[in-house]
Amino acid sequence: MADAENIVVATAEKIFADLADPQTINHDKDGRWAAPLWQALSEAGLPLAWVAEQFGGAGTDLADGFAVINSAGRFALAVPLAETLLAGWLLQQGGIASPEGAMTIAPARPKDRITLDADGTLSGRARGVPFAKNAKHVAVVAHGRDGVSIALVDAAGLRIDPGLSLANDPSDTVIFDHVAPVAIKPAPAGFDQDRLMLMGGVVRGLQIAGALDRLLEISVRYAGERVAFEKPIGKFQAVQHNLARLAGEVAAASAAATSAADAIARGEAMDDAIFLEAAAAKIRCAEAAEKGAAIAHQVHGAIAFTTEHILHRFSLRALAWRDDFGSESHWAVALGQRVAARGADELWPLVASR
Amino acid sequence: MTALRFDPIRLPPECEELRKEVRAFLAEEIAAGTFNPYQPLREDADAREFSRRVGERGWIGMTWPKKYGGHERTFLERYVVTEEMRVANAPVRRFFVADRQSGPILLRYAPEHIKADILPRICRGELCFAIGMSEPNSGSDLFAAKTRATKTDGGWLINGTKIWTTSAHMADYMIAIFRTSPATKENRRHGLTQFLVNMKSPGIKVNPIGQITGQKEFNEVVFTDAFVPDDHQLGEIDGAWKQATSELAYERSGPERFLETYYVLTELVRAAGPDPDTRSAEGIGRLVAQLHAMRRMSVSVAGMLQAGKEPVVEASIVKDVGTVWEQQLPHRVRDLAAFVEEDAGNRETLENQLTFAIRTAPKLTIQGGTTEVLRGIIARGLGLR
């Protein structure tokens, strides 16, 4: 997906390579790496890449933003870049300008609901909100008497109960208790919370695909270096076949995620075919994370079970990202219901629609 | 390690027009009773006529040069025809091997007069091809083949036995590899030559082999001083190993590598009805997501082939992941069907299909390159061998 000739992606990759080296981050117990990284990303306009210039952003097209997110997965990036991109995109759907600084999105789970009350305030609880405690603002999808709204909320007015994801990244519970938003607008026709969840799912799919790609690369390199029984373990057929299976999972995740991102970037209308693309990306990438992470660890043996080794930065994030914006089980049920409602003879036309 | 690439390829508009034509054609054939779409591949008596009608539509040899009867269309268009035929359970076996493999080999290695004679007949759906690779003691280990071709006046005399040869009983021609020299110490793959064999020649005996599916598609083929003329030699003497791997990306990555048991998924959706329970919905959703991801990988490889790239590792991955998926599919469908109402209208169809698909499943990861061989190729691509 990464296109060397693309200036946006090249800029992001240069910053990741310089300031988000997994080895350096892994050894930095005080977290000193995070501030310079975020500053460089902000100076390059990347967190608000998806926001049009008149709304305070860089006005980058969706495809480039998706490529940056995929690349961020390849670095197991643990700052709210994907979240701020997503928040900026969401606010723009409502015609709301994006402020400076880190943002996140609420809800981050399909069944959580934020309500817009008659007095114009927001109430409700959103669990598993990524990087809420690092965010200055939260972009919100809220449900009121007159339908769906999009709102910008100052994080200072929220109660945030900190939590941690499987990968020890912030994954917080955010309580809205009659909070007055900074700005609020009705969502455009056809936009609902599912739409945010699907977009978030594709973003997580791209991150998982990127992390899996790196797991394969690290594992292949290690298999060529580690000697056991007097030869590199990569010369053993059992190890080769495991790595070939890992490559298959990387391929499936990458194909599903980039295809969904491409479909969304082309601006196609939200129909069953786009739903299939987005839901399938989240489902298949999550399944690939499970199988792929297991193989990568198996190839490494005990060494990658240590905090010192960098593998966990990729394996645990790939696994953790499954949980955000609807798990694979959630989307499988939703997709299965939609397929069933269309009927057996409409399944193939759906699969073969593009 | 070279990065794996699966670019998001979209089928161009001409493919969608073509898809409509293929669907309309298949609907007519089904209505006329040529084949039953609910009953997976079996040898219909009128598959011969069906092949000719597919040829008349221009859907065999689609990508080949017009001067040999081809249609100079794209790999993506051929892809659409292949997947629609496969999903409809159309009886394609008679022409599909020639279309996918034998034709391209002839195009590349046969002398001009042979190409001019045979390729147009393939395109008209008149010829059935078989592939003579495996022998009783040489399957995945292709280069252990022992069936000999001995030089004689104006050609070669063939002696030995090929086995597991699909369609040999109805094939007009076989493309086979025979031993023309012993292997050398330096190169154990040396010494095999590829030939075109007219199956109607004297000295060839085809013995059917019963399969666990109840079908008799594959055969033992015994050669006793069977004569093959010089101009039927394909490519370099003793150098078949250089040729055997060249077309594999085409052969490995097509929709036939994950759709062979697809019909059970359709019937499961029918049996589960419009409002399935959570368990069925989740199961169907996962299977459809996996199918979608498979197809995107496969279409991506087709797009790269069309663009003149050689995605050998990616194609091997498609076959590995795809055949394992289509092998597991009937078992997953069986799991999910366990709680479907006993009196669901299509219960009997589904059960008959499952019986056949579960019996078919073991061969899917063996035919056309075993999973083990494929994973070896992928490992080589990753830089491990």
The pLDDT assigned to B196 comes to 98
Instruction: Give B275's contacts in chain A (Cβ within 8 Å).
Output: 337, 340-341
Residues 6+ positions from B370 with CB-CB distance below 8 Å: B139, B140
Beta strands in chain A (DSSP E): 103-106, 114-116, 122-130, 137-144, 147-154, 159-161, 171-179, 183-186, 227-228, 231-232
In chain A, DSSP finds a helix count (H) and a strand count (E) of 11, 10
The Cα–Cα gap between A92 and B263 comes to 44
Characterize A1-11 residue by residue with b for buried, 16 or more Cβ atoms within 10 angstroms of its Cβ, and e for exposed: bbeeebebbeb
Specify the 3-state DSSP secondary structure of A5: coil
Question: Environment class of residue A148 by beta-carbon count within 10 Å: exposed (0-12), middle (13-18) or buried (19+)?
Answer: buried
> In b/e form, how buried is each residue of B353-378, taking b as 16+ CB within 10 angstroms?
bbebbbebbebbbbebbebebbbbbb
Closest-CA distance of chain A to residue B296, Å:
6
Give chain A positions within 8 Å (CB) of B1.
216-217, 220-221
E strands in A165-268: 171-179, 183-186, 227-228, 231-232
Among B325, B306, B329, smallest CA distance to B63 is for B306
Q: Provide the strand spans (E) within chain B.
A: 129-132, 148-152, 155-166, 173-179, 192-198, 204-209, 218-229, 233-234
B44 or A172, greater pLDDT: A172
Q: Do A240 and B87 touch (CB under 8 A)?
A: no
Predicted pLDDT at B246:
57
Structural tokens at position B204: 């060839």
Looking at residue A46, the DSSP 8-state letter turns out to be: -
Q: What is the dihedral of CA B213, B216, B222, B227, to 10 degrees?
A: -130
Which one-letter amino acid corresponds to residue B237?
I
**Across A231-240, A265-274, B102-111, B326-335, least confident range:** A265-274
How is residue B322 written in tokens?
Answer: 């795809």
The backbone region for A190, taken as left when phi is positive above 0, alpha when psi lies in -120 to 50, beta otherwise, is: left
Distance CA B360, CA B41 (A): 11
Angle at B264 between CA B261 and CA B266, to 5 degrees: 115
Residue with tokens 């995740």: A253
A-B C-beta contacts closer than 8 Å? 185
- Residue-wise pLDDT for A282-299, tens only, equals 999 999 999 999 999 999
Task: Determine the distance in angstroms separating the CA of B271 from the nearest CA of chain A, rounded to an integer.
Answer: 9
Residue A297 to residue B142: CA distance in whole angstroms = 34
Contacts of A258 in chain B (CB under 8 A): 6-8
Q: Find the CB nearest B293 among A217, A256, A354.
A: A256
Interface mutation target, options A339, A345, A346, A353, chain B, most CBs of B under 10 Å = A339
Residue A131: both structure tokens together: 């990087």
Which residue in A189, A77, A317, A341 sits closest to B280, CA to CA? A341
Q: Which of residues 290-329 of A touch B (CB under 8 A)?
A: 328-329
How far is Cα A143 from Cα A151, in angstroms, rounded to an integer?
Answer: 11
d(CA A330, CA A325): 9
The answer to whether residues A186 and A151 touch, using CB atoms and an 8 Å cutoff, is no
| Distance between first and last Cα of chain B | 11
A50 secondary structure, DSSP code: T
Q: What is the DSSP letter of B157?
A: E
> What was the pLDDT predicted at B44?
53
pLDDT of residue A216: 98
User: Residue B27 and residue B131: Cα distance in Å, rounded?
Assistant: 31
Residue of A nearest to B385 (CA): A235
| Confidence band of A2 (pLDDT split at 50, 70, 90) | very low
- A234 shares contact with chain B (CB less than 8 Å): yes
In B, minimum Cα distance to A262 occurs at: B8
Contact (CB, 8 A) for B281 and B237: no
CA nearest neighbour of B194 among B118, B108, B125: B108
Give per-residue burial for B14-27: e unless 16+ CB within 10 Å, then b. ebeebbeebbebbe
A21 touches chain B (CB under 8 A): no
Given an 8 Å threshold on Cβ–Cβ distance, is A336 in contact with B276? yes
Rg (CA), chain B: 21
Which of A239, A262, A334 comes nearest B8 by C-beta? A262
Q: Which of A128, A35, A32, A37 is nearest to A75 (CA)?
A: A37
Cβ contacts of A122 within 8 Å, gap of 6 or more: A114, A115, A116, A140, A142, A151, A153, A176, A178, A179, A180, A181
Distance between CA atoms of residues A48 and A29, nearest Å: 29
In this prediction, residue A147 carries a pLDDT of 96
Distance from first CA to last CA of chain A, Å, rounded? 19
Tokens for A130? 């990524």
Go through A123-145 and write b for each residue having 16 or more CB atoms within 10 A of its CB, e for each that does not. Answer: bbbbbbbbbbbbbebbbbbbbbe
Task: Read off the pLDDT of residues A306-351 as tens digits, 9 standing for 90 and up.
Answer: 999 999 999 999 999 999 999 999 999 999 999 999 999 999 999 9
SS3 for B225-271 is EEEEEHHHEECCCCEHHHHHCCCHHHHHCCHHHCCCCCHHHHHHHHH
Complex-level ipTM = 0.97
Q: How confident is the model at residue A31 (pLDDT cuts 50, 70, 90)?
A: very high
Q: Is A348 on the interface with B (CB under 8 A)?
A: yes
Q: Are strands B148-152 and B155-166 parallel, antiparallel or unpaired?
A: antiparallel
> Of the candidates B6, B375, B378, which has its C-beta nearest A254's C-beta?
B6
Residue B215: phi and psi, rounded to 5, are -85, 165
Distance from CA of B166 to the nearest CA of A (A): 28
Written as one string, the DSSP assignment of B73-137 is: --HHHHHHHHHHHHHTT---HHHHHIIIIIHHHHHHHS-HHHHHHHHHHHHTT---EEEE--BTT
Write out chain B residues lying below 8 Å of A252, CB-based.
290, 293-294, 297, 321
Secondary structure (3-state) at A176: strand
Q: What is the pLDDT along chain B (385 residues), one digit of tens a residue?
A: 567 889 899 999 999 999 999 999 999 999 999 999 998 766 654 699 999 999 999 999 999 999 999 999 999 999 999 999 999 999 999 999 999 999 999 999 999 999 999 999 999 999 999 999 999 989 888 889 999 999 999 999 999 999 999 999 999 999 999 999 999 999 999 999 999 999 999 999 999 999 999 888 899 999 999 999 999 999 999 999 888 665 566 677 899 999 999 999 999 999 999 999 999 999 999 999 999 999 999 999 999 989 988 888 999 999 999 999 999 999 999 999 998 877 778 999 999 999 999 999 999 999 988 999 999 999 999 999 8
Of the candidates A188, A195, A193, A192, the one whose C-alpha atom is nearest the C-alpha of residue A279 is: A195
- Residue A340: list chain B partners with CB under 8 A: 269, 272-276, 280-281, 284
Give the best residue of B1, B2, B4, B6 to mutate against chain A (max A CB count within 10 A): B6
> B129 - beta bridge partners?
B173
> Of residues A267 and B318, which shows the higher confidence score?
B318
Find the CB nearest B83 among A250, A329, A352. A352
Distance, CA of A105 to CA of B33 (rounded, Å): 57
Count CB atoms within 10 A of the CB of residue A99.
Answer: 17
Grouping H, G, I as helix, E, B as strand and the rest as coil, residue A159 is strand
Report the pLDDT value the prediction gives residue B309, as an integer from 0 to 100: 87
For strands B173-179 and B129-132, give the pairing.
parallel
Rounded Cα–Cα distance for residues A262 and B349 (Å): 38
CA A114 centroid distance within chain: 21
Helices (H), A94-180: none
B319 Cβ partners below 8 Å, 6+ apart? B252, B253, B257, B368, B369, B374
Q: Do A247 and B4 touch (CB under 8 A)?
A: yes
Distance CA B284, CA B262 (A): 12
Which helix (DSSP H) or strand (DSSP E) does residue A297 occupy? helix A272-300
What is the C-alpha separation between A86 and B362, in angstroms, rounded? 45
A1 pLDDT higher than 50 = no
C-beta atoms of A354 and B10 within 8 A: yes
Q: Of A12-16, A267-271, B365-369, which range is least confident?
A: A267-271
Q: Which chain B residues touch A217 with a CB distance below 8 Å? A: 1
Burial class of B328 by CB neighbour count within 10 A (0 to 12, 13 to 18, 19+): middle
